[in-house]
């Protein structure tokens, strides 16, 4: 199993998480994880973020990033009813 995981991991491009996320969290009053995601995308010129979080949606719109929600629209509508 470890050999299979290693084979996959060797092909990954890992990027450092942006420290600016801490400042963004304070400035925008959003959870740290959401701010780290947006700050990292901005710092590394990654134009698309994937999330279903309302804070990420707000920040993505503000900073000109494209947001992709991984949850299909019909499922999101069903979730609103719960």
CB of 65 within 8 A of CB of 48? yes
What confidence tens digit (pLDDT) does each residue in 1-13 have?
Answer: 899 888 888 888 8
Judge whether 69 and 76 are in contact, CB under 8 Å: yes
Q: How far apart are CA 3 and CA 16, in angstroms?
A: 25
Confidence of residue 78 (pLDDT cuts 50, 70, 90): confident
Tens digits of residue pLDDT in 63-76: 999 999 888 878 87
CA-angle at 37, arms to 25 and 46, nearest 5°: 130
- Mean pLDDT, to the nearest integer, of 18-37? 97
Categorize the per-residue pLDDT at 31 as very low, low, confident or very high, splitting at 50, 70 and 90: very high
Q: What pTM value is reported for the model?
A: 0.78
Mean pLDDT, range 26-31, rounded to an integer:
97
Which among 72, 43, 47, 67 has a CA at the least distance from the CA of 57? 67
């Amino acid at each position: 199993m470890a050999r299979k995981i290693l084979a996959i991991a060797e092909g990954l491009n890992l990027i450092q998480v942006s420290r600016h996320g801490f400042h963004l969290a304070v400035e925008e009053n959003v959870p740290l994880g959401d701010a780290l995601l947006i700050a990292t995308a901005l710092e590394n010129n990654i134009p698309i973020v994937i999330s279903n979080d309302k804070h990420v949606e707000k920040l993505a719109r503000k900073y000109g990033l494209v947001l992709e929600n991984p949850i299909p629209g019909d499922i999101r509508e069903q979730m609103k009813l719960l």
